[in-house]
Amino acid sequence: MQKINLGIIGCGIIAREAHAPALKRLTDRFTVTALCNRSRPKAEVLAKELGLGKQSIWQDWERMLQEASVEAVLICLPIELNYPVSRAAAAAGKHVLCEKPIGQSKEEARAAVKIPAEYGVAYMVAEDIHYMPAFAKAAELVKAGALGKLCAINWNVFNFMDLSNKYAKTTWRTKHVFPGGYVLDGGVHFVHVLQMTAGKVASVKGETLSMEPALGKVDTAFALLRHESGVLSSLNMGWRTRDQSSGRLKIFGSQGSLLVSDSEITAISADGKTRKVPFENEDDYYLQLIDFHRALTSGQPPGVSAESCAHDVEVILAILESAEKDETVRV
């Protein structure tokens, strides 16, 4: 199997705790040859985790792109750096796997979609929820007509972000320069699943608020989304709310419903009978990296398209705009 020399730019939480464990399972596909982080100690921690020597560590990503022996890069940086560093890496001839979101504005999102055509490299957004087996299976069932005509979706996703939480202590999140704070950072995941299931969102009506200013400018959003297919979705999300009953994606069709969590799918038939839907679970970051490798070695596009990820950002920005203007916004 062809092995890809991979460099990692950004050695923070997501690189250490999500990507590194997956990469350790994929040594037949990837060889990590370079790590870059502005503060060297974080890079040293990741280097130790991956069994790399200190000679693999860089503190200047621009130098790393020009001098390190890498064919592809994994970018795990603050949101405002996603697009410019992705573009620079592509311009240096490197294939790119960049953490979500694809950009912090409509302009960046649209420009990022053009990266493969402009530079002749593979470009993939690390939208891991696309590869979560439960959500992928639910979308597959809907497309196969298991629920009859898809009518509506409801998703309440509420988490309590304690100020001592490692994510809450990340300066680029709490003092964010990108719009929307956690609503953009986390919300693109939820919007992506809604669009996987019901197709592109055409318009939104949203409201936002800040329950805890220490978390950033926005930490809660409620929205009604109308899809081009006619399906109506309700997406309510927050990072300062305690609700032990939230989290299940509810999908309603003319002939039944699905209740979906990370680890379980329950189907409810038209007559009210319930059954568990079997599916094979697997780590989404592992599956994501396998797909990235497939795209690099086959020349075929990745399973998650940059276009879909750009529209995820546009939907979140529309929710923020709708809340500010108090009107329905076309996406």
Say yes or no: 143 and 184 in one domain.
Answer: yes
Say yes or no: 112 and 145 in one domain.
Answer: no
Determine, yes or no, domain membership for 290.
Answer: no
Q: What residue numbers bound the domain in which 97 lies?
A: 4-126
How many structural domains comprise the chain?
A: 2
Say yes or no: 176 and 254 in one domain.
Answer: yes
Say yes or no: 77 and 147 in one domain.
Answer: no
The DSSP call for residue 185 is: H
Per DSSP, the three-state class of 173 is helix
Determine, yes or no, domain membership for 267.
Answer: yes
- Tens of pLDDT along the chain (331 residues) come to 899 999 999 999 999 999 999 999 999 999 999 999 999 999 999 999 999 998 999 999 999 999 999 999 999 999 999 999 999 999 999 999 999 999 999 999 999 999 999 999 999 999 999 999 999 999 999 999 999 999 999 999 999 999 999 999 899 999 999 999 999 999 999 999 999 999 999 999 999 999 999 999 999 999 999 999 999 999 999 999 988 777 899 999 999 999 999 999 999 999 999 999 999 999 999 999 999 999 999 999 999 999 999 999 999 999 999 999 999 999 9
Say yes or no: 188 and 323 in one domain.
Answer: yes
Boundary (domain end) residue, out of 100, 126, 152: 126
Say yes or no: 170 and 319 in one domain.
Answer: yes
Q: How far is CA 150 from the centre of its chain?
A: 24
Say yes or no: 122 and 145 in one domain.
Answer: no
Phi-psi region of 255 (alpha: psi -120 to 50; beta: other; left: phi over 0): alpha
Boundary (domain end) residue, out of 95, 126, 157: 126
The dihedral built from the CA positions of residue 46, 50, 56 and 62, taken in this order, carries a sign that is negative
Say yes or no: 101 and 175 in one domain.
Answer: no
pLDDT score for 247: 87
Determine, yes or no, domain membership for 209.
Answer: yes
Say yes or no: 193 and 326 in one domain.
Answer: yes
CATH number of the domain enclosing 255: 3.30.360.10
pLDDT score for 147: 98
Say yes or no: 140 and 82 in one domain.
Answer: no
CATH number of the domain enclosing 117: 3.40.50.720
